[in-house]
Amino acid sequence: MDIKQQINQLREALREHNYNYYVLDKPTISDYEFDVKLKELQGLENKYPEFYDANSPTLRVGGEITKNFETIVHDHRMYSLDNSYSKEDLLDWETRVKKLVDGDVQYTCELKYDGASISLTYENGELIRAVTRGDGIQGDNVTNNIKTIPTVPLKLKGEYPPKFDIRGEIVLPHDGFLKMNEERIAAGEEPYANPRNTASGSLKLQDSAEVARRPLDCLLYNITGNNLGLETQYESLEKARAWGFKAPQESKLVNSIEEVLAYVNYWDIERHNLPYETDGVVIKVNGLQQQEELGFTSKAPRWAMAYKFKAEQVVTQLNEITYQVGRTGAITPVANLTPVQLAGTVVKRASLHNADQIAKLDIRVGDEVYVEKGGEIIPKIVGVNLEKRAENSIATEYASDCPECGAPLERKDGEAQHYCPNYNGCLPQIAGRIQHYISRKAMDIEGLGGETVTLLVKEGLIKNYADLYMLTKDDVIPLERMAEKSAENLVNGIEKSKEIPFERVLFALGVRYVGETVAKKLVKHYKTIDAIMTATQEDLVNVDEIGIKIAESVQEFFSDQDNQELISRLKVYGIQLEMSAEKLANQTETLKGLTFVVSGVFYRVSRNELKKMIEDNGGKVSSSISSKTTYIVAGDKMGPSKLEKANKLEIEIINEDTFLAKLGM
């Protein structure tokens, strides 16, 4: 078998496994076997870049950076939906429909998924474009980001029309959302408010590798285009499924509004068992011919109607307000409630967000409060039943002191949150910083968990993360639940963290606003901790994507004497505080100040390698051509629209050899 066949077979197999795993939820091979195949394909693709394919399963991991999302006019407008709230509304709608069309009317009932709408364009079975809804007429080109979502097929199965658009919703399932928030809290960042906003925010991230890390899902429900050979909405869904799309199985074909209502009632309860958020039902006239006869109003189709579920609300009593302290010292007020059943779970606590929120709703201990569960997982208090308020009730006075250490709380101008300023003496802050340091994405210290950290701090064995490196087996063996073996694992795990590369160390230090991505950017730019520590604010904001807020926080952290001392100690212990020599050797400033757009297929290096070479040598890679572009590096099959734009803006086009020559290759 020749190489090309081998590559194609691997791609085909990986696509099928991907489909089985993500769309059907029925994997037929182990994750390990999948990884082996993927690595094999990656190896071949690197070696034989001539077989590059923009829709190869290896490109799911992302890595493309989009600075400015290109605006695209939808071929077919993306409409909104009319809303109904009662059986009467639905019956009215049915009457209007029946007046306008002939014959019997069937309906497809679907769930209304609460996410971000998207329009995908396929040509000859390949995904060529993904565009956000925008204002319905035009949206943003977010193709690079969408390609990383595993349930979006890059190539279709079976027999499909040569060209069509398919619309649906990008959603973030509950468990993935919860996991992301846990990680954010670990990084000292505010948790995201709800899955829907997080999903739509994800589509506009500049770094597609970041999107790839988010557990997004894509549910599709509408096919548009010309001469598609489809007769009904229900058939469209079935066809979409056959082509490899995730078209929700919850949809149902019915014959009357009574059946629609039965569907609504069923899902109003059952939706709480779904992995993602829904906020209603969408009822669509099933026949596409009938849909055409009905047409559109200025904003919505006449052939469809949304029925909104009522947000679930219960009344219960607020017994106490307590305050939680995070690792950054941020205080979160928590409502402790008389337990009550809400949307299938027992609710005992609700988030109160901050002091302003409590004051705005005038929430008081003893009140009867209304609790709702929206997109957020933690329920929230939306109001107070003032009629039931006791006469002797007292307005809530926000905590003045830290519940953990007693220090007076502070609140910075313009910030909603209160903070405990006792950086060095407040247990959840001290333990929290060390817990962050050892966490998986930071130093990934095996054999040491969050509870053990708290115990070590309480026992006075450690006060900061540098102290970890002084711990001996004998220190930890006396701890509760520690045995010889686990003590040894702990000490070994700490020792091994000395190999963790600088960018992760920088993230682990816990500088506010310095998450994984910012840490990478800083390391790439400054190369050593000393350079970062001495950088001026002006200097810092000149780094790509570093704004004033981050610059201030970085400066504040490193000008602190205690932190400086910690860093000196980490240096002594042999922690990586510089970019490795190997990485450094590949970096130059040869292309500084130049912006490149890379397009087409290359032979001597792969496209990704080429981009990496640009960045490693100080240049910038941009995905779209603009007046800021210095060169376009063009391989074979450069897109015609890019060529046209380049000519119009008179941007120099160079080939692979000319580019490599610039780097002396």
Residues belonging to the active site? 112
Tell me the residue nearest to ligand AMP as measured from the CB.
117
- Choices 283-291, 357-365, 404-412, 609-617 (CB under 5 A): range interacting with Zn ion: 404-412
Q: Could you tell me the maximum CA-CA distance found in the chain, to the nearest angstrom?
A: 86
Smallest distance from the beta carbon of 527 to ligand AMP, in angstroms? 45
Q: Of 301 and 600, which CB lies nearer to ligand AMP in the complex structure?
A: 301
User: Which of 120, 282, 430, 634 lies at the binding interface for ligand AMP (CB under 6 A)?
Assistant: 282
Write each residue from 407 to 446 as x if it is in contact with Zn ion (CB under 5 A), else as -, in one continuous string.
x------------x-x---x--------------------
User: By CB under 6 A, is residue 80 in contact with ligand AMP?
Assistant: yes
Write each residue from 167 to 186 as x if it is in contact with ligand AMP (CB under 6 A), else as -, in one continuous string.
--x-----------------
Q: Which residues on neighbouring strands pair with residue 84, listed in sequence order? A: 307
- Choices 91-99, 110-118, 196-204, 610-618 (CB under 6 A): range interacting with ligand AMP: 110-118
- Name the 3-class secondary structure at 336: strand
d(CA 519, CA 504): 7
Query: Which residues neighbour 549 within 8 Å (Cβ) at sequence distance 6 or greater?
Result: 513
Query: Which partner in ligand AMP, Zn ion, none is near 422 (CB below 5 to 8 A by kind)?
Result: Zn ion
- Choices 109-117, 236-244, 503-511, 657-665 (CB under 6 A): range interacting with ligand AMP: 109-117
44 exposed, middle or buried (CB, 10 Å; 0-12, 13-18, 19+)? middle
Write each residue from 597 to 636 as x if it is in contact with ligand AMP (CB under 6 A), else as -, in one continuous string.
----------------------------------------
Task: Tell which residue, 442, 446, 568, has the closest CA to residue 516.
Answer: 442
Query: Which partner in ligand AMP, Zn ion, none is near 239 (CB below 5 to 8 A by kind)?
Result: none
User: By CB under 6 A, is residue 243 in contact with ligand AMP?
Assistant: no
d(CA 39, CA 504): 24
Smallest distance from the beta carbon of 350 to ligand AMP, in angstroms? 26
d(CA 189, CA 330): 10
Query: Which residues neighbour 476 within 8 Å (Cβ) at sequence distance 6 or greater?
Result: 456, 461, 482, 487, 490, 491
Query: Which partner in ligand AMP, Zn ion, none is near 503 (CB below 5 to 8 A by kind)?
Result: none
Q: What is the strand order of the sheet 652-655 is part of?
A: 620-622, 595-599, 631-634, 652-655
User: Which of 7, 38, 65, 81 lies at the binding interface for ligand AMP (CB under 6 A)?
Assistant: 81
At residue 24, what is the residue type?
L
- Structure token digits, residue 175: 């468990």
Query: Which residues neighbour 171 within 8 Å (Cβ) at sequence distance 6 or greater?
Result: 113, 114, 115, 116, 195, 196, 199, 216, 217, 218, 219, 276, 277
User: By CB under 5 A, is residue 405 in contact with Zn ion?
Assistant: yes
- Name the 3-class secondary structure at 631: strand
User: By CB under 5 A, is residue 331 in contact with Zn ion?
Assistant: no
Smallest distance from the beta carbon of 79 to ligand AMP, in angstroms? 7
Query: Which partner in ligand AMP, Zn ion, none is near 420 (CB below 5 to 8 A by kind)?
Result: Zn ion
Task: Tell which residue, 546, 106, 525, has the closest CA to residue 303.
Answer: 106
User: By CB under 5 A, is residue 127 in contact with Zn ion?
Assistant: no
Footprint of ligand AMP (CB under 6 A): 80-81, 110, 112-113, 117, 133, 169, 221, 282, 306
